[in-house]
Structure 1
Amino acid sequence: MDTSSKRTARQSQTAVNDSLLKIKEKSASQADCCDDDYDDYEMFPPRQQQFCQDLDNQLCGLSSELYISRLIKLCSNDYSKLNDYRERLAERAKNLPDCPQGRLINRKNSSTGSREHKNAIDCYTLDAFINGARNKDIHEIFSQTNERLVIDDANGSKVCTCNTEQSDLQSSMEIMKGAILQMAKEHAHHPTVLHQLQSDISNVLTAFRVFNGT
């Protein structure tokens, strides 16, 4: 094999190994994130903690209808407060062993209701779950897999989309696959190089499937 071919082979193998390392690092990072334990509101800034605690106090013991209407009113000047409160309740609920562990569904305005009203309903369901109520509604708040982001579309139906990291990796894999196929054509007469590349590619695909949950 000439010097140029050896250099190209080394560069290609380095690219494959770098991609494998990237996938492993992202997978480990995601696992660490999923293993985090939350303790009520302690990880949030004091002002947010106080706001959430105030909502807890003002909404305690209310019926579903009163809870939802009052929560919307209390957060009417800032939608992000309602969204944040929903996220905090979800984090508390996930400390319970029988809580679904998927991602929160991202609510949107639709013919079935406003995102504010949908999120307020979710808050009531989460609060009831935290306080001992068990019903199937809790499963409508979380997606069924941690690898998907579930969104309510404008028609009120749920649409699954890959998360950003997964999409980025998928794109990188497609680019890398094209480059490897091109190199395989150029170095078809070097079986040792091709065998090593096939082995590395197999490792990359295995790591990607593990990350992708397939």
Structure 2
Amino acid sequence: MPPPSIHLVVVKVQDLYENLLGGATVTLTHADGGTLSDTTASTGDVGQVTFNLSDLDEWATGDSITLVASKTGEGTKTQTGTISSGGGQTETIQLAETSDFDFERTDPDTRYGLSFNMLVHYDGEKVTRSRPLPVIGADQLGDYQVSDGDDASDPQYYGFTDRDGKWYIQKINVADGTYRFIRGDSDYVTNWENRATLTFDYYFNIF
């Protein structure tokens, strides 16, 4: 029995957080090589395209189709499926920045698919370029800028803050040649005013 003349394949493209993505390129390839391509809408039915298989030369229920979705900055994803019975079907593709890798050996005609697990933060959210893993470099105090200084007597004090309000105070005992520290996440001004009463410790105990 020949297939119906109309069979709609709705393809929805999502980002890592299941938000629909407008402006993604989607290609549908039939097992016999026929190809349809379109770009997901940015308005109206945002993040989806609709293919009519009647635009292919030949197709049948149960045939294999391959869907490829891609968008700059979001990634590329390939998935396969079959043409279902009835007048249409809906497929969902979720893009990830590391969702599709091509690893090529010396033979340029041979490709090997690599599968990677997405890294996540402590709260379960996936790592992306806009939300990278926190990395502390060799100079973890590089984001701090000097805010106050008190070198009128011994010991001397210097206060440092960063753009988020975090702070640390360095205490220098000139006579003993010692350097001690204390730090906090907020209320720098109060702590600076009370610096002489604070408890300072070695760098490795504070940081």
The two structures have a TM-score, normalised by structure 2, of 0.27
Q: Which has the higher strand share?
A: 2
Q: Which has the higher helix share?
A: 1
Structure with the larger RCO, 1 or 2 (CA within 8 Å, 6+ apart) = 1
Q: Provide TM-score, normalisation by structure 1.
A: 0.27
